[in-house]
């Protein structure tokens, strides 16, 4: 990328930034992230770390980054779990759910007024889970076949970790979809709801905002469909060669977010 393009990016007022594969892999902070964060703060930029992961709450994400020696205020985080809870509350206030997921998702649903129900819930909700088993899949399938609506917190097939690429929500929910004959509705990127909430929190207009991510099928398409500039970083799951597999392109391609701070 040439200097002119970097200068254009740096003039943006608002930055929506993915986390996994952009800021860190697992529990390892990526090179250049500290410099990028310091640049955001010192230049008075509006920014939101917006993740399709539903495992952790904003408070836990703040603590996760603090363990990697990056201190970020809790207000700068937004997750697919929060977007899911926001959506379901608007659709079925005071409803009930059967959840397969971690604490971040369960707590977001509790906070939105939902109760847990494994008999006749309004919704079956699936997020990332490291404790999923056949009994959970069986129960979820039977509930969906009995009339519960199937919700996924995000459509990610895979996620990056220190050890490599692992299954994510779309992979985990697919047995329930196939066995029930029902398709899930996904709330995370590229669902426009996430982007509208992001820009609302930033207080910026589309022309003043950009999204930084490592996935063509969520981050980049979300930006394109929301008419904001897109920046693909090659520090996560997408390689330069894989970009050619898609019928759309990011506006900019960087090796990492640190490139923005190094002009």
Query: Has 111 been annotated as catalytic?
Result: no
Range of the domain at 151: 82-186
> 149-184 pLDDT, tens per residue?
999 999 998 887 778 888 999 999 999 999 999 999
Are 24 and 98 in the same domain?
Answer: no
> Is 57 a domain residue?
no
Question: Which one is catalytic: 2, 20, 214, 219?
Answer: 20
The question of whether 217 is a catalytic residue gets the answer no
Please pick, among 5, 18, 217, 229, the residue that the annotation labels catalytic.
18
The pLDDT value recorded for residue 203 is 95
Is residue 88 located within the same domain as residue 156?
Answer: yes
Rg (CA), the chain: 18
Residues 169 and 216 in one domain: no
Measured between alpha carbons, how far is residue 154 from residues 112, 151, 187 in Å? 18, 9, 6
Give me the CATH number covering residue 25. Answer: 3.40.50.1000
Indicate whether 159 and 120 sit together in one domain.
yes
Report, as an integer, the average pLDDT of 50-69: 95
The phi, psi pair for 67, rounded to 5°, reads: -65, -20
- pLDDT greater at residue 206 or residue 1: 206
Which of 154, 186, 218 is the C-terminal boundary of a domain?
Answer: 186
75, part of any domain: no
Which among 63, 58, 18, 57 has a CA at the least distance from the CA of 36?
18
Structural domain count, the chain: 2
What per-residue confidence (pLDDT) applies to 263?
A: 61
Query: Does residue 72 form part of some domain?
Result: no
Contact indicator for 81, 31 with CB cutoff of 8 Å:
no
174 and 207 both lie in a single domain: no
Please check whether residues 88 and 181 belong to one and the same domain.
yes
Statement to judge: residues 122 and 182 lie in one domain: yes
**Locus of tokens 């959506």:** 87
Query: Is 173 in the same domain as 199?
Result: no
Each residue of 125-135: pLDDT tens digit?
Answer: 999 998 999 99
CA dist 166 and 261 (Å) reads 30
In a domain, 152, yes or no: yes
CB distance 192 to 173 below 8 Å: no
- Looking at residue 192, what is its pLDDT? 87
Answer with the one of 186, 205, 231 that is the final residue of a domain. 186
Last-in-domain residue among 158, 186, 214: 186
- Torsion (CA) 65, 14, 218, 234 in degrees, nearest 10: -70
């Amino acid at each position: 990328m040439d200097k002119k393009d970097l200068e254009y990016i740096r003039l943006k007022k608002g930055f929506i930034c993915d986390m996994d594969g952009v800021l860190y892999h697992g529990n390892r902070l990526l090179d250049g992230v500290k410099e990028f964060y310091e640049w955001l703060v010192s230049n008075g930029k509006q920014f939101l770390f917006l993740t399709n992961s539903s495992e952790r709450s904003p408070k836990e994400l703040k603590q996760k980054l603090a363990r990697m020696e990056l201190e970020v205020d809790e207000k700068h985080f937004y997750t697919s779990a929060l977007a899911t809870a926001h959506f379901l509350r608007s659709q079925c206030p005071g409803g009930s759910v059967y959840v397969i997921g971690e604490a971040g998702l369960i707590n977001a649903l509790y906070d939105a007024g939902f109760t847990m129900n494994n008999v006749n819930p309004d919704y079956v909700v699936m997020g990332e889970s490291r404790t999923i088993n056949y009994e959970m899949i069986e129960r979820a399938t039977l509930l969906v076949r009995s009339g519960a609506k199937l919700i996924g917190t995000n459509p990610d097939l895979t996620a990056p970790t220190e050890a490599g690429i692992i299954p994510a929500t779309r992979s985990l929910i697919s047995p329930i979809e196939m066995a029930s004959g029902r398709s899930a509705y996904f709330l995370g990127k590229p669902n426009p709801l996430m982007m509208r909430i992001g820009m609302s929190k930033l207080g910026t207009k589309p022309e003043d905002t950009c999204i930084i991510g490592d996935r063509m099928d969520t981050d980049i398409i979300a930006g394109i469909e929301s008419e904001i500039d897109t920046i693909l970083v090659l520090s996560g799951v997408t390689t330069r060669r894989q970009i050619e597999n898609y019928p759309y392109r990011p506006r900019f391609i960087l090796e990492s977010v640190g490139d923005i701070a190094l002009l």
